[in-house]
Structure 1
Amino acid sequence: MTPAARISAAIELIDTIDAQRVPAAKALKEWGTAHRYAGSGDRAAISGLLWDVLRRRASSAWIMDDDRPRARMLGMLKLERGMDTDAIAALCDGGRFAPEPLSDGERTALSTRTLSEAPAHIAGDYPEWLDGYLAQVFGEDRVSEATAMASRAPLDLRVNTLKAKREKVLASLAHLGAKPTPWSLIGLRIELGADARNPGIHAEEDFIKGAVEVQDEGSQLAALFSAAKSGEQVIDLCAGAGGKTLALAAMMAGKGRLIATDTDKRQLAPIHERLSRAGVHNADVRTPKGDGDTLSDIRASADLVLIDAPCTGTGTWRRNPDAKWRMRPGALEVRLKDQTEVLDRAAALVKPGGRIAYITCSVLPPENGEQVRGFMARHPEFAVVPPEQTVSVLWDKAEDFSRAALSSPEGWLMTPRRTGTDGFFVSVLKKA
């Protein structure tokens, strides 16, 4: 397919998503099934165009003064891909499978309109109802922060220290362009261009043998800040598919007791195979059955309870731009209730002197600092471990990280703009 034909296909997909209100991933899958002649490069390019339009949905429509799929595509090509009017016009020449030529109005919009007068939620490409929350945490920087959250994320990998060292994996994945992550001492990063296909990491020998796992650097740091140690009793209370369980197991060097559980047994389905591949032998996966408490035998005896809390996922917009436009205020209220319940549950599991690592992939204050303050009001026996202490695990990078990330009395907030990671909040609370 020509570049122009790919643009036409992406516009068609956007129209389908708008008309049928289907998730973008589902629409892409169905398009690929119906157009088997399209090669992997074509599918990757069309996917990249679609995701970029979703990332810059509001600002692209503003630039064009038109919210239709074609207009959003044209606006995105200017804002996200950095193309000038002539370059866009060359793609829209009305030829076979190409978009129709630019109208006079479209040329004028592309040549003259900017985001200088756009409201913050338009320039930053996020739902208007979230503006107050983002202003609360970022102030006048919220447009810059949100714009960074609308960029494409790299592919980050965590080296499994139970099986390999970073230097060795770095060499074996050099053909993919892997480089060390800026902060995590066990991370690798593969940068991806706008039209780049995701590398087939699952087919790499290092992945098959359990030497690496896909994990954003921010998620790696969140686990590291929990300071899990060999010989401890550690509980991953919202383990899901096991990403942080695997990280904890490596930190514990296979020694101690690691319990992974989740209220949704469907989320736990992949964890068994992942633990086996990673060579983890000290993990006890507890799948919920009926109304029984999977941790009824644990009472005030855990050294560490890690909570990868259910949240709105605002920090992961780079990877799932479709989700931010489907998010509604009611979702935040549900998540706040879930977070309160899981924090209170964790409090009863921690022994005196033990700690809770509370983690969200959100940048919204109600889910982060406000949630921590509410917890301490209900459980005055807990206090926040000073953030400068938790970051000491980064050794010589701790000072630079402290300048980059946002610190508060409750913990650390990482963002794409500041730390180059997904948005993560981490608070470590110690029981007196």
Structure 2
Amino acid sequence: MHPSARIAAAIEVLDDLETRRRPAADALKDWGLAHRFAGSKDRAGIASLVYDVLRRRASARWVMKAETPRAEMIGALLLARGLSAQEIAGHFSGEGHAPAPLSEDEKAALAAPDLSGAPIWVAGDFPEWLAPHFARAFVEKAVEEGRALAARAPLDLRVNALKATRQQSLEELAHLGAQACRFAPLGLRIAQGADGRATALSGEPAYARGLVEIQDEGSQIASRIARAAPGEQVLDLCAGGGGKSLAMAGDMENRGQIYATDSDGRRLTPIFPRLERAGARNVQVRAPRGPNHDPAGDLAGACDLVLVDAPCTGTGTWRRNPDAKWRIRPGALEQRIKAQDDVLARAALYVKPGGRLVYVTCSLLCEENEDRIAAFLAGHIDFAAEPAAESLAKAGLAGLDAAASPHGPGLRLTPARHDTDGFYAVVLLRAAG
């Protein structure tokens, strides 16, 4: 397909999203099924265009003074892709399968794009209802952080310490341009191409052999803050696909025991092939058997470490999931807060005296992070928050002192400041007795 035809197809997908209010992945899949002539490169190119529009939807609408999928596409080509007005006009020729030519209003908007008077939610490309929450979390940096969340994410990998060193993995993946991550000691980074297409890692021998795993650098840092040590008893209470369990297995050198569980057993399904590929032998997966079954019931008061990767709004993951920010609704925050309080209270039951509870979210909202920890500590006097600087020093993480949260205990990682996904992590210590 010609690039102009891909643009026209992407506008079709955006129109479907607008009409049917569903995830972008579903709309893209249906488009591909209905247009089987489109090859894999075409489908990937169309998806990249759609996601770029979703990254910059609010600012694209503002610049173009319209809210149609076509206007969003034109604005995103300017703001996200950096195309000139002349280049955009070349794609909107009306010839063949290209979109119709630009109107006079569209040409005028492209000639004088202006975001100087836009509110923070437009300039930062996030939902309007989140504006006060972002202003509280970032103050004068709200727009900067929003724009960073609207950028494309690189591909981050974690070297599996059970099988390889970082130097060995760098050599294995040198042909992909792999570089060492800035902070995570086992992290590798592969930049995305100019068209936004992701690297096909599944075909790489280093990945197939379990030398590396996909994991954002921020998630790696959050895992390392937990300081899982050889011989410890560790409970990963919201394990999901097992990314942090795998990281901790490496830190523990396959010694001790990790119990990986989740309230929804279906989320645990991906962990089994990942454990086999990684060679992680100290992870015991425990799925719930029915709504009233506690798969960790025998671990009450017995764990050196309980990791809570809490359910959250996922505001820190928008670089990778740009359509998620437009699908989230205000009521979701209230639901997540309740779930976070519940899981923290439950997690405390498993921590032995002198043990630690590590709370992690991929959210940047104070309401899901520092506020939840303040509420938890008020009701659990036998727990205390470890200072962020101390957590970093014990975990051997250099250069992150400035990541200490200004809103309370814990560590804040953001794309604007650290070039990671957005994460919050805090270590809570239980009194020895």
Report the TM range for the smaller structure's normalisation.
Answer: over 0.9
Does 2:20 correspond to 1:20? Answer: yes
Q: Is the 8 A contact 2:152 2:196 kept in 1?
A: no
Describe the SS at the equivalent of 1:321.
Answer: coil
Match of 2:349 in 1: 348
Match of 1:289 in 2: 289
Q: Is the 8 A contact 2:389 2:404 kept in 1?
A: no
Match of 1:170 in 2: 170
| Alpha-carbon distance in 1 for matches of 2:122, 2:254 | 49
* 1:366-387 deviation digits (Å, cap 9, x = unpaired): 1000000000001011111110
Q: Cα distance, 1:90 vs. partner? A: 1.4
| Alpha-carbon distance in 2 for matches of 1:31, 1:198 | 20
| Alpha-carbon distance in 2 for matches of 1:172, 1:408 | 42
| Alpha-carbon distance in 2 for matches of 1:22, 1:431 | 44
Match of 2:340 in 1: 339
Does 2:345 correspond to 1:357? Answer: no
Q: 1:231 to 1:407 in 2, by over 3 A?
A: farther
Q: Cα distance, 1:273 vs. partner? A: 1.7
Number of equivalences: 430
* 1:191-216 deviation digits (Å, cap 9, x = unpaired): 11341422221121111111111111
| Alpha-carbon distance in 2 for matches of 1:327, 1:427 | 25
One-letter amino acid of the counterpart of residue 422, structure 1 = D
Match of 2:126 in 1: 126
One-letter amino acid of the counterpart of residue 197, structure 2 = R
Match of 1:424 in 2: 423
Q: Cα distance, 1:86 vs. partner? A: 1.2
Does 2:412 correspond to 1:413? Answer: yes
Match of 2:374 in 1: 373
Q: 1:405 to 1:50 in 2, by over 3 A?
A: farther
Match of 2:11 in 1: 11
Describe the SS at the equivalent of 1:356.
Answer: strand
Q: Cα distance, 1:353 vs. partner? A: 0.9
Tell me the TM-score normalised to structure 1 length: 0.97
| Alpha-carbon distance in 2 for matches of 1:217, 1:384 | 23
Q: Is the 8 A contact 1:78 1:84 kept in 2?
A: yes
| Alpha-carbon distance in 2 for matches of 1:114, 1:46 | 27
Q: Is the 8 A contact 2:366 2:407 kept in 1?
A: no
| Alpha-carbon distance in 2 for matches of 1:411, 1:184 | 17
* 1:246-277 deviation digits (Å, cap 9, x = unpaired): 01111111011111111101001111221111
Match of 2:220 in 1: 220
One-letter amino acid of the counterpart of residue 243, structure 1 = G
Tell me the TM-score normalised to structure 2 length: 0.97
Q: Cα distance, 1:34 vs. partner? A: 2.1
| Alpha-carbon distance in 1 for matches of 2:309, 2:17 | 31
One-letter amino acid of the counterpart of residue 60, structure 2 = S
| Alpha-carbon distance in 2 for matches of 1:88, 1:394 | 49
Match of 2:193 in 1: 193
Q: Cα distance, 1:394 vs. partner? A: 6.0
| Alpha-carbon distance in 2 for matches of 1:120, 1:251 | 41
Q: Cα distance, 1:405 vs. partner? A: 6.2
| Alpha-carbon distance in 2 for matches of 1:403, 1:264 | 36
1:31-110 equivalences under 5 Å are: 31-110=31-110
Describe the SS at the equivalent of 2:284.
Answer: strand
Q: Cα distance, 1:81 vs. partner? A: 1.2
Match of 1:402 in 2: 401
| Alpha-carbon distance in 2 for matches of 1:407, 1:46 | 41
Match of 1:143 in 2: 143
| Alpha-carbon distance in 2 for matches of 1:74, 1:29 | 23
Q: Is the 8 A contact 2:403 2:412 kept in 1?
A: no
Q: Point out where structure 1 has 5 or more consecutive residues left out of the alignment.
A: none
Q: Is the 8 A contact 1:154 1:189 kept in 2?
A: yes
Q: Point out where structure 2 has 5 or more consecutive residues left out of the alignment.
A: none
| Alpha-carbon distance in 2 for matches of 1:55, 1:47 | 12
Q: Is the 8 A contact 1:386 1:409 kept in 2?
A: no
Describe the SS at the equivalent of 1:76.
Answer: helix
Q: 1:248 to 1:157 in 2, by over 3 A?
A: same
| Alpha-carbon distance in 2 for matches of 1:64, 1:196 | 23
| Alpha-carbon distance in 2 for matches of 1:44, 1:416 | 24
* 1:306-361 deviation digits (Å, cap 9, x = unpaired): 00000000000111111111111111111111111111111111111100110000
* 1:365-414 deviation digits (Å, cap 9, x = unpaired): 0100000000000101111111001112564x62x322356455310110
Describe the SS at the equivalent of 1:300.
Answer: coil
Does 2:321 correspond to 1:314? Answer: no
Q: Cα distance, 1:80 vs. partner? A: 1.1
| Alpha-carbon distance in 2 for matches of 1:196, 1:76 | 14
Describe the SS at the equivalent of 1:90.
Answer: helix
* 1:277-297 deviation digits (Å, cap 9, x = unpaired): 111111111110121221221
Percent identity reads 52
Match of 2:181 in 1: 181
* 1:166-222 deviation digits (Å, cap 9, x = unpaired): 111111111112111111110111111341422221121111111111111100000
| Alpha-carbon distance in 2 for matches of 1:197, 1:174 | 18
| Alpha-carbon distance in 2 for matches of 1:7, 1:295 | 51
Larger deviation, residues 253-262 vs 291-300: 291-300
Describe the SS at the equivalent of 1:29.
Answer: helix
| Alpha-carbon distance in 1 for matches of 2:421, 2:113 | 31
One-letter amino acid of the counterpart of residue 53, structure 2 = V
| Alpha-carbon distance in 1 for matches of 2:365, 2:376 | 16
Describe the SS at the equivalent of 2:250.
Answer: helix
Q: Is the 8 A contact 1:405 1:418 kept in 2?
A: no
Match of 1:249 in 2: 249
Runs of 4+ in 1 over 6 A off after TM superposition: none
Q: Is the 8 A contact 2:158 2:186 kept in 1?
A: yes
Q: Is the 8 A contact 2:62 2:122 kept in 1?
A: yes
